[in-house]
Amino acid sequence: MLRLSRAEFEWAVARALDGLPAEIAAHLENVAVVVEDEPSEEELREAGLDPETETLFGLYQGVSLPERGADYGLALPDRIVIYRRPLLAECETREELIREIRDTVVHEVGHYFGLDEADLP
């Protein structure tokens, strides 16, 4: 498994967010991006995955922009969770990890904008 400190991993997630096009980043409101070690069995099941054989790299938790009502600003922030251990286990090089983190961030931001799994890379 690739080794990377938590601080370095969080830095890579922050860089992925900084790399989003300005017109997309400008619309990220009331959403927190966090790093967790790994998804829970419940999160895997809710995503339709088998906890014994499958995992997640990231997860969007919240109400997508197209589904929000006028009073949504009063709600707790949505969350984009990036899971550290599955990404470290999957990637063989630092470059591959950075690319996979970026792809995962973009994928989960896509869910925030209302895109379905079939619409995302």
| Rounded to 5°, angle at Cα 81 from 80 and 84 | 150
Residue 87 domain-assigned (yes or no) = yes
CATH at residue 67: 3.30.2010.20
Residue 80 domain-assigned (yes or no) = yes
Note the pTM of the prediction, 2 decimals: 0.91
Residue 95 domain-assigned (yes or no) = yes
Helix 94-112 vs helix 6-18: crossing angle, to nearest 10? 50
Residue 1 domain-assigned (yes or no) = no
CB-CB contact of 104 with 76 (8 Å) = no
Which pLDDT tens digits describe the chain residue by residue (121 residues)?
788 999 999 999 999 999 999 999 999 988 999 999 999 999 999 999 999 999 999 999 998 888 887 777 666 889 999 999 999 999 999 999 999 999 999 999 999 999 988 887 7
Please state the domain count of the chain.
Answer: 1
Residues 6+ apart with CB under 8 A from 85: 37, 38
Residue 29 domain-assigned (yes or no) = yes
Task: Show the 3-state SS of 82-97.
Answer: EEHHHHHHHCCCHHHH
Domain hosting 86: range is: 6-119
Residue 15 domain-assigned (yes or no) = yes
Residue 94 domain-assigned (yes or no) = yes
Residue 88 domain-assigned (yes or no) = yes
CB-CB contact of 32 with 81 (8 Å) = no
